[in-house]
Chains A and B, each alone.
Chain A
Amino acid sequence: DVVLTQTPVSLSVTLGDQASISCRSSQSLEYSDGYTYLEWYLQKPGQSPQLLIYGVSNRFSGVPDRFIGSGSGTDFTLKISRVEPEDLGVYYCFQATHDPWTFGGGTKLELK
């Protein structure tokens, strides 16, 4: 099974700072069709997860342009510029290239 390793496990930031989360895969996430099925989710306290990024770098509808996804192959990054209070929670990367699909372990973004 594909293992997604997220670092760091937790990240303390000051509002307005930039935050960066890494997601490394045990296998390339490029599918045979050329698409990379790598997504990022945010789960706020007490809520269901919400989709932020799909296909490595495409922001879902309504997601601010402060969220930037990048990467290829096995290495992916989510950057959040100018962290705002509503950005706090746990971030997960997720791959749907290889069955069974898998989530990363999560990165908790909290205030310093």
Chain B
Amino acid sequence: AVQLVESGGGLVQPKESLKISCAASGFTFSNAAMYWVRQAPGKGLEWVARIRTKPNNYATYYADSVKGRFTISRDDSKSMVYLQMDNLKTEDTAMYYCTAAPNWGQGVMVTVSS
């Protein structure tokens, strides 16, 4: 069965950095584009970033709200996808979901607060 397990969330202060990870299994990871979606407490879904596969040069795309601050990356040898989040803001507080369409992880909470 497909599994996506996020980790690395926690409480950080504004302007700090955090890197969250997603471990994938149950499918051919290297063939799958990977995405991050977030959901602020009590709010709707917001697409954050995606990374394509090696044949597509690992191209990356970002939501305007995180462009220049967040970096998505992947390690096909480990079936892992990452989201490096720099210069965090209070509005980045959210549950972060790793997705490989149509599968979703359970999410990891990131809280940005002083």
Contact = CB atoms under 8 A, between A and B. Distances in A.
A82 B6 CA distance: 36
A101 B47 contact: yes
Given A101-B61, A103-B47, 16 more contacts: A41-B45, A43-B45, A48-B97, A48-B105, A48-B107, A49-B45, A49-B104, A50-B102, A51-B102, A92-B44, A100-B63, A100-B64, A103-B44, A103-B45, A105-B44, A106-B44
Contact of A48 (B46, B62, B63, B106): B106
Contact of B47 (A50, A60, A102): A102
A106 B37 CA distance: 15
Contacts, number: 42
Interface of A: 1, 41, 43, 48-51, 54, 60, 90, 92, 94, 99-106
B1 interface: no
Interface of B: 37, 44-47, 50, 61-64, 97, 101-102, 104-107
Nearest to A1: B64
A51 to B, nearest CB: 4
Closest 6 A-B residue pairs measured CB to CB? A51-B102, A48-B104, A106-B44, A103-B45, A101-B47, A100-B63
Contacts of B50: 101
Contacts of A60: 102
A10 B46 CA distance: 19
